[in-house]
Amino acid sequence: MTTILETYAQQLNARQMEQLARWLDVRADTLQKGLDVSGALLLGAAAQHSKTPDGAADLLASLNKDKDLRAEALRAIEAGHGYPILDFLFGVGYPTVTAWVRDTAGVDVAPFLASAVVLFMRALETIVNQEKFDAAGLAAYLQDAQNAFARAQPQLASQLNAALDLGQNVEERAERLMLRFTPEEWMALARLPSIAASAVMMTDLSGPVGLNQEYAALLAALERAAAANEPDSLVSLVARTFNEPSQIDALGVTQANAQMMLRDACLEVVALLNAKATHNETHNYKTMVMNVARAVAHAALDGGTFGIGRKSVSAEEQRALDLLAAALAYDA
């Protein structure tokens, strides 16, 4: 039987590899090394994920559900189909895993994993279909493949296993933190940054261009907050939970209800933080909410005539920021 890593490596021809190298703006040898190490890392992640019956069943189900994996490889890569699968395999431990691989194995896999995971999951799907694996068969196959790789490249396998173990530790700490809150409480925490930012938008509508700038600033501020904090921290987890445009649109914040929604959301969250969060978690969370709202307020130039006399934060937006700080009991 062809191994998973052999099937993975054979999917792109020379012309397609050149095209992918151009997309990623890397040399051909750098691309090959990045894909090789990424494939081995993904094998380890899949094997780790399938160690429990539920994990193996989830992995098999993901193959059955993801119709995009049947698309032509480069089209699937270009469409970004790899990112949801990376989240499935690594969760919030992803930054820890990639940083450890970079620092120990000397290969920065982060630029390549979104492409590599499409190839890997397509290869895995091929093998599952050929062998007609159930969840148990898939788990056994992945463990055997991982053991074979460890025998062939023991040093690299050890480095990658250490990275995966660290990522799993991060994932477990994140799960323990989230279990302090009920699902409803967690959603209240996750929604507030977007409610606060939306309320600032509604206080002084900036026109279509300005609103688009503010919307982009909201999403970028959440991304910065997630990246700037430890992946298993309250702030990072909140920023990663509620950051989809469809989620933010569904909040239904309008000029008429913005202040009331913001006040009620702040009261609920402050009570939750006082009851269930540490002092540092509370301060960092409130700072993140303020920073997200400020980023939106500074995103578009408001006021003035023909571009003259405009201020980056209007009086109405500043009042909204002041009200937010007061409602949060925020002490900078």
Lowest-pLDDT range, 67-76, 84-93, 138-147?
Answer: 67-76
Name the band, by pLDDT with cuts 50, 70 and 90, for residue 205.
low
The predicted pLDDT at position 209 comes to 52
CA distances from 86 to 80, 83, 111, 113 (A): 11, 5, 12, 8
| Residues 108-137: tens digit of each pLDDT | 999 999 999 999 999 999 999 999 999 999
The predicted pLDDT at position 16 comes to 94
Domain ranges of the chain: 4-176, 180-328
- The string of DSSP letters for 66-124 reads -GGGGS-HHHHHHTTTHHHHHHHHHGGGHHHHHHHHHHHHS---HHHHHHHHHHHHHHH
Name the band, by pLDDT with cuts 50, 70 and 90, for residue 1.
low
Higher pLDDT among residues 65 and 154, named by residue: 154
Paired tokens of 194: 């977007």
Name the band, by pLDDT with cuts 50, 70 and 90, for residue 300.
low
Name the band, by pLDDT with cuts 50, 70 and 90, for residue 63.
confident
What's the predicted TM-score (pTM) here?
A: 0.79
Paired tokens of 329: 């009991």
CB 10 within 8 A of CB 119: no
